[in-house]
Copies of this chain bind each other. A is one copy, B any other.
Amino acid sequence: MVNKKCIIRLSRYKSALQRLKALGFVKVFSGNLADAAGVTSSQVRKDFSLFGITGNRRGGYSVDELIAKILEILGKNELQRVVLVGAGNIGTALMRYKGFESGGIKIVAAFDIDPEKINRRSELPVLPLEEFADFVKQNSVRVGILAVPDIAAHHVSELMIRSGIMGILNFAPIQLRGADKVIINNINLEVELENLIYFVNAMQKTGQIE
């Protein structure tokens, strides 16, 4: 199986291509895409070859075909339904965000233990956590966002996995131990800031970057 970085680059190529398409481009060369995505042209062609994406020698790639192929690889042909646990600060921000839907991702329901947060009427309902397993099974959702406090994160992740969730985007600042056949992407904002701070400090000391 290909590695994570490679799929992230595919997402980048996709965005770049959509931008190029909007600008009227009909075909594109690996070099153009490379520039737009901030990588080398070799990298672009290497990535494509991994997925069996081919172009025309000297003719480059058709923008439309390329977009279609990448969308298919990324599973963007069908709307991807996602659930959210923890309708707090981060959870609410995500629920309000309109950008996911234009990208074919829809948060279909949120879950919380706080009775105050429950709201069945909303277009994006917030349901009690007890209903999580049933909902996920009935709607065969496979991806979930975890936005609960760190103390609850482990417990909730187990519930998610038990209910059939296979991919978790975790915002809690703990390293979740993924079960077999479950993939977990951790977003740790404090670590990201720490990282930035380290490099800024290092840069100020040495005047150098990377």
The residue in A167, A194, A206 that gathers the most chain B C-beta atoms within 10 A of its C-beta is: A194
Residue of B nearest to A191 (CB): B11
Quick check: B201 and A75 within 8 Å, CB to CB?
yes
How far, in angstroms, from A173 to B4 measured CA to CA in the complex? 18
Number of chain A residues whose Cβ lies closer than 8 Å to a Cβ of chain B:
65
The complex places the Cα of A89 from the Cα of B47 at a distance, in Å, of 35
A109 to B181, CA, bound (A): 43
- A137-171 vs B, CB cutoff 8 Å, 1 = contact: the mask equals 00000110100000000000000000000111100
Question: How far is B11's CA from A187's CA once the two chains are assembled, in angstroms?
Answer: 13
Chain A 8-48 per-residue mask, 1 if CB under 8 angstroms from chain B, else 0: 10111001000000000000000000000110000000000
Q: Are B80 and A210 in contact (CB under 8 A)?
A: no
A195 contacts B by Cβ under 8 Å? yes
Query: Could you tell me the distance between the alpha carbons of A44 and B75 in the complex, rounded to whole angstroms?
Result: 37
Interface residue from B73, B181, B200 paired with A166 (Cβ < 8 Å): B200
Asked if B8 and A76 make an inter-chain contact with CB atoms under 8 angstroms apart, the answer reads: no
| A-to-B contact residues, CB < 8 Å | 1, 3-4, 7-8, 10-12, 15, 37-38, 73-76, 80, 82, 89-90, 92-94, 96-97, 99-100, 103, 105, 142-143, 145, 166-169, 173-175, 180-181, 183, 185, 187-204, 206-210
A sample of 24 inter-chain contacts (CB < 8 A) reads A1-B208, A7-B194, A8-B191, A11-B190, A12-B191, A38-B175, A73-B198, A75-B201, A89-B93, A94-B189, A99-B190, A100-B193, A105-B197, A145-B193, A166-B203, A167-B199, A168-B196, A169-B193, A183-B196, A183-B199, A183-B200, A183-B203, A183-B209, A187-B187
